[in-house]
Amino acid sequence: MEYLAIVVIVFTFFQLVVSLVNLLFGQKRQYTTDRNCLVSVLIPARNEENNITNILTDLLEQDYFNIEIIVFDDQSSDKTPEKVMLFAEKNSGIQLIRSEGLPEGWLGKNYACHSLARKAGGEYLLFLDADVRVKDGLISGAVARADHLNTGLISVFPKQEMVSTGESLTVPLMKYILLTLLPLILVRKSHFSTLSAANGQFMFFNAQTYKKLLPHLKMKDRKVEDIEIARYLKKSGVRIACLASDKNISCRMYHSFSEAVDGFAKNVNMFFGNSYFLSLMFWLITTLGFVPVLISYGITGLVFYLAAVICIRTAVSIAGNEPVIRNILLAVFQQFVLLIIIARSIRLKLKKQYIWKGRKLA
């Protein structure tokens, strides 16, 4: 039992160090630039009538004016294209592309992004999900950061808006896993492709790099294309950067517990190298690790262990721009929700029943 306790303590110490690195080296420095190059803002949209008006309004109010906005209507069955056209009729900088159907071998979002890039004329390509909200400084800051750091890709995890308890039990798990396993500063500093991270909600590419490597074409059938693209770019010698949060972009990813579980079930295993064994080991250590610690080192050892766990949760919450106290209070419940998500992912994998926005994913 003492051996298990040592494993738990070593892993917890690793998580603590990684979370503190992500807190202390959060890459939140703001850069400035006098350049005014064209940025193509590219939005894949499928049944986004409740969100598309908000993101287009936000973009038109940006302090960076040299942008073109292109929306790809991915066979929406709602009023998404009509709402885009209302904006396009009043603003020549907005275009709508209508899908003519999903080609064989493609996943919907990947094909939408590839199609958008083919129409884009900007020096930079900014892929945004339709459900994000953006503020002034987002695009100008991205241009300045990309120029200063000479990156081919910058990706950002938006601040996650959580309204219901079900969202608070699920959504923070993504950043908890990421920010305790991967120091994001190494995404930019290291040449190892395994040290990669990205979020498809915000992907800011150098256009020359994108059109040379055609990442969405290369990953046309991948469910978790953002991380795969980040690894592909690093393998190709391209410098990338990933930020845990940015005050100028936010998103309400999901609107219910079940929606969030299904959403994370399709990509949770990617954090663990597509190994369900590792994902289950992560869950066991981070959920039941207190048992061998208590048996081997008593109350004193347990107190120090729990203090480390609270420090980890605090560092992750601050680095990820999430509510600290709420995440600490819900930590135990979030851990059991993580098991539900992993189990759901295994079940869907075995039955090959990944469904998202009305489409079956391979």
Average of pLDDT values for 23-33?
A: 84
pLDDT at 355: 61
Rounded to an integer, what distance in angstroms lies between the CA atom of residue 178 and that of residue 186? 13
pLDDT digits (tens, 9 = 90+) for 333-342: 999 999 999 9
Which residues touch 61 (CB under 8 Å, ≥6 apart)? 136
| Structural contact between residues 204 and 124, judged by C-beta atoms closer than 8 angstroms | yes
Average pLDDT over residues 281-296: 96
User: In terms of CATH, what superfamily is 39-161+182-252?
Assistant: Spore Coat Polysaccharide Biosynthesis Protein SpsA; Chain A (3.90.550.10)
Give the span between the Cα atoms of 166 and 332, in whole angstroms: 14
In whole numbers, what is the pLDDT of the chain averaged over residues?
Answer: 93
How confident is the model over 117-133, as pLDDT tens digits?
Answer: 999 999 999 999 999 99
Angle, vertex CA 15, rays to CA 12 and CA 19, nearest 5? 145
pTM, full prediction: 0.92
pLDDT one-digit tens code per residue, 210-268: 999 999 999 999 988 999 999 999 999 999 999 999 999 999 989 889 999 988 998 89
The H or E element that residue 127 is part of is strand 124-128
The domains of the chain are located at: 2-24+268-356, 39-161+182-252
- The sign of the torsion formed by the CA atoms of 98, 100, 101, 102 equals negative
Percent of the chain with pLDDT over 90: 84
Q: pLDDT digits over 137-174, tens only?
A: 999 999 999 999 999 999 999 999 999 999 999 999 99
The pLDDT score that the predictor gives to residue 358 is 57
